Amino acid sequence: MNPIHVRDLSITLGAVQILHGISFDVRAGECFGLVGESGSGKSTILRCLSLLMSSWQGEVLIGGENLRAMPLARRCKTVQMVFQDPYGSLHPRQSVRTTLSEPLRIHSMPDREARITRTMIDVGLPLAFLDRFPHQLSGGQRQRVAIARALILEPEILLLDEPTSALDVSVQAEILNLLSDLQARRGFTYIMVSHDLAVVDHMCDRFAVMQKGHLVETLTRGALTGIPEEQARHPYARELIDASIAYDRAM
């Protein structure tokens, strides 16, 4: 298990600078949260870390090794991503089996059937679902398939881009439980983007607050639960936390 260091991550698209010198560290085996309003650049950070966007400047180290210098196959085996919308991120004409065996084929990994079986059990889906297509699955089941697809290469780091915001609360509970359980058993490092501070509080010990492409403050869970010495100092971070707590409690 390796820690992640992000130093001065910046990206400019056209005339607009989307991220301004983002730096943060994630410990090995930790769940680190990224929060902020829409358009603040939280998802862009994940897209940079997974090199879905590659024109960024700065440095990302995974266990001391430069992310950009890692060979493609090894990078994909180390870092995997789960997307927000399970309705859009699964191929509609590929069965669950095809979706899960594709990464194994690309990485020429042995024992494909055994790995697929194990991953399906890990994410709590019946094996009979292997021959289903995405339209035959509910939202929660689809998100489990998306998580299974990310897990099947046995990565160390999972990038979670709002993994539950497209789901109902009851289904969200199942997916959050699954993610905590996998982390406890397999020691994954998570970077989790969310706009819901209740979810962040449930999953993460530390989180960073983003605003307009700047990382304004890195906080611990105490900032949400009211530990005096861990309170947010930046005015925007405080506004966001206060609004979320007010919304969570009463009006």
Choose the binding region for another protein from 60-68, 78-86, 95-103, 222-230 (rule: CB under 8 A).
Answer: 222-230
Rounded CA separation 164/84 (Å):
7
| Residue 111 touching another protein (CB under 8 A) | no
Rounded CA separation 4/19 (Å):
18
| Residue 240 touching another protein (CB under 8 A) | yes
Rounded CA separation 202/176 (Å):
9
User: Phi and psi for 150 in degrees, rounded to 5?
Assistant: -70, -35
| Near another protein by CB under 8 A: residue from 77, 202, 214, 234 | 202
Choose the binding region for another protein from 13-21, 53-61, 153-161, 235-243 (rule: CB under 8 A).
Answer: 235-243
Q: Which is nearer to another protein, 109 or 176 (CB)?
A: 176
| Rg of the chain over all Cα atoms, to the nearest angstrom | 18
* The total number of residues written for the chain in this structure: 251
| Near another protein by CB under 8 A: residue from 170, 185, 228, 229 | 170
| Residue 31 touching another protein (CB under 8 A) | no
| Residue 14 touching another protein (CB under 8 A) | no
| Residue 176 touching another protein (CB under 8 A) | yes
Rounded CA separation 81/127 (Å):
23
Neighbouring C-alpha atoms within 13 Å toward the C-beta of 116: 21
Neighbouring C-alpha atoms within 13 Å toward the C-beta of 141: 14
Nearest CA among 104, 123, 106 for reference residue 114: 104
| Near another protein by CB under 8 A: residue from 61, 154, 174, 214 | 174
| Residue 182 touching another protein (CB under 8 A) | no
Q: Which is nearer to another protein, 137 or 199 (CB)?
A: 199
Q: List residues near another protein by CB under 8 A.
A: 37-38, 139, 168-174, 176-177, 180-181, 195-199, 201-202, 224-226, 239-240, 243-248, 250-251
